[in-house]
Chain A
Amino acid sequence: MATPVTTESYGPTSKAATMAVFGLFLRELATRARILVLSSLGLLMVLLGLVARFSDDGEEIELTMLIALGLGIIAPIISLVMASATIGERRADQSLVYLWLRPIPFWTIAVGAGAAAITVAMPIVLVSLGLSVLVSGEYQLFVPALIAGFLAVVGYTGIFLPLGALLKRSFLVGLGYILIWESLLSQLGNFFEQLSILSYSASIVVNATDVVTSSGGRSTPSSTVIPPLVLLGGIAITVRFLNRREID
């Protein structure tokens, strides 16, 4: 005869669950091939620092490249590759069930995945932005570039984490978002610009210089606060997804 089941039996602590999910995704993301390919993208950024070094308008050139390539392409693409490869990839290959069917709150899955994506994306982005500035010799941009890169990764992860969970073709949609929405629509005017992560991260570097550009235009406080809020929102949407959607 079976012994009774008690309703007290429950899962791990939320901290243990988050750490376990984080560890899983960290290892899945940090493959050598992925890091090499993405680092080579970062290497471009560093090479462009050389261009700035040999130019007369070093600061302006480095600033433009930081914004157009570093914050506009490299940071979002690396964040996209990482964030959409967590829950999204697991949903696509139907192995998400091995996390979903555990006695853990859904937020631990979303937070663990987001943290892993940020942990892998951040060093690549920060190193390439930082090295680029050092190579260019425009040292006054060093700290703002790092802060901007940090905020960019945080903000984009907030967008691409739920995107990966919600959409099947998240990589292509994400690429379209980066190349079309962020790069083009955000130049349509102040209103649209507020809706792009790039305007906030760019403002950090722009506000740190005297250069007048078309990018940026957000205040430093709002630029610091909005990307983390986007991340929180993204995690909330991901949790909602895990709660509502059916899992294969």
Chain B
Amino acid sequence: MSQAIIHDQGYRRFEGERRGVAASMWSLVVHAIQRALGIKRQFRSKVMPLIVFAIVYLTAVIFVGLAFFLKSFDIGDAGFSYGDFASTSGFAVLLFIAFAAPEVICTDRKSGMLSLYLASPLTRTTYLAAKALGVFLILLTVTLGPQLVLLFGYTMAGTGPGGVDKFIEAFVRAVLAGSVGALMPTALSIGISSVTPKRAFASAGIAVGLLASNGVIHGLTSSEGADIDARLGVLNLFYVPIELAVRILGERNDVAPWNELATGWLVLANAVWTLIFGAMAWFAYQRVSVDR
């Protein structure tokens, strides 16, 4: 029989070493991703990400399945190429763009979390940077993830790139294209979300903004008989990142204005839009008051 002990249940000090600001930022990144994907939240919050995942990953899996069945098929001819996928999954990705940033940005202002965050080791800038990284990673799950599924699937089906060096090249292209597909939309959605604490307004603003600029620019540049400069395409907020991703994948959309627009303009457009919306968010957050 051992000696009887009554343990002290009092306050315990934390004697360990505190992690640095970088770790604080990373835990905010993880938190943002969990929040947007509905992890640790009720089922209601999981519906939206599940639908989007279902659309993009199921499509990718079906493409791969077809490749297995029709051993001889040429993915390019069949319209199943990496670039084709990037273009057609654009609308599912748009759902995510319109939903993710408002979910992780606007709610903090409405729910009072922002005042707790700013009283933590984060600053306005590091807070925003962590949130942006979170949104970027969330978008990567739908811009890069399915591409990798395609790449590995096609390779296993025997229709993928032949040889290790080709595979590595395709892999690098997929990563680059996925990142490009997520980068400018991250800036845009965070920029728009930073001006309102209302999630619905931000989501509507992003969706309407993307769709409307796509509609108008597409309408302007593709209407027959109209003689409009292809460079107007850089104003198509929705398609500018997608088209650049498609080109990184080694393909190109063969419709106006893209068939006439040089890749340099696309790179520039992506960079400039990213900077503009990034600056918009940064300035908005330097000024936002945290009474709540």
Binding site for B on A (CB under 8 A): 37, 41, 44, 47-48, 50-51, 54-56, 61, 65, 69, 73, 77, 169, 171-172, 175
- CB of A165, distance to nearest CB on chain B (Å): 17
Q: Say which residue of A37, A41, A51, A56 sits within 8 Å of B219 (CB atoms).
A: A51
Chain B positions within 8 Å of A44 at CB level: 212, 215-216
Assess whether A171 is in contact with B226, with CB atoms less than 8 Å apart. Answer: no
- CB of B177, distance to nearest CB on chain A (Å): 29
Verify if B148 is at the interface (C-beta below 8 Å from A).
no
State how many residues of chain B have any CB contact under 8 Å with chain A.
17
Assess whether A172 is in contact with B200, with CB atoms less than 8 Å apart. Answer: yes
- CB of A179, distance to nearest CB on chain B (Å): 9
Assess whether B200 is in contact with A51, with CB atoms less than 8 Å apart. Answer: no
Q: Say which residue of A41, A54, A77 sits within 8 Å of B227 (CB atoms).
A: A54
Verify if B282 is at the interface (C-beta below 8 Å from A).
no
Number of A-B contacts (CB under 8 A): 41
0/1 string, B208-226, CB within 8 A of A gives 1: 1000100110011001111
Report the bound CA distance from A32 to B11 in whole Å. Answer: 53
* Top-10 shortest CB links A-B: A54-B226, A171-B200, A56-B225, A172-B200, A51-B219, A51-B223, A44-B216, A55-B223, A51-B220, A44-B212
Chain B positions within 8 Å of A169 at CB level: 200
Q: Say which residue of A47, A54, A172 sits within 8 Å of B225 (CB atoms).
A: A54
Known: A56-B225, A61-B223. 18 other contacts (CB 8 A): A37-B205, A41-B208, A41-B212, A44-B212, A44-B215, A47-B216, A51-B219, A51-B220, A54-B226, A55-B223, A55-B225, A55-B226, A56-B224, A65-B219, A69-B215, A73-B208, A77-B204, A175-B200
Verify if B228 is at the interface (C-beta below 8 Å from A).
yes
0/1 string, B186-221, CB within 8 A of A gives 1: 000000000000101100110010001001100110
Assess whether B223 is in contact with A175, with CB atoms less than 8 Å apart. Answer: no
Closest residue of chain A to B222, judged by CB? A51
Q: Identify which of B198, B204, B224, B225 gathers the most chain A CB atoms within 10 Å of its CB.
A: B204
Report the bound CA distance from A47 to B205 in whole Å. Answer: 19
Chain B positions within 8 Å of A55 at CB level: 223-226
Closest residue of chain B to A54, judged by CB? B226
Chain B positions within 8 Å of A50 at CB level: 220
Closest residue of chain B to A50, judged by CB? B220
| A169-B200, A171-B201 known; A51-B226 Cβ under 8 A | yes
- CB of A200, distance to nearest CB on chain B (Å): 24
- CB of B260, distance to nearest CB on chain A (Å): 17
- CB of A51, distance to nearest CB on chain B (Å): 5
Closest residue of chain B to A45, judged by CB? B216
Assess whether A47 is in contact with B201, with CB atoms less than 8 Å apart. Answer: no
Chain B positions within 8 Å of A54 at CB level: 223, 225-228
- 11 of the cross-chain contacts (CB-CB < 8 Å) are A37-B205, A44-B216, A47-B216, A47-B220, A48-B219, A51-B220, A54-B225, A54-B226, A61-B223, A73-B208, A171-B201
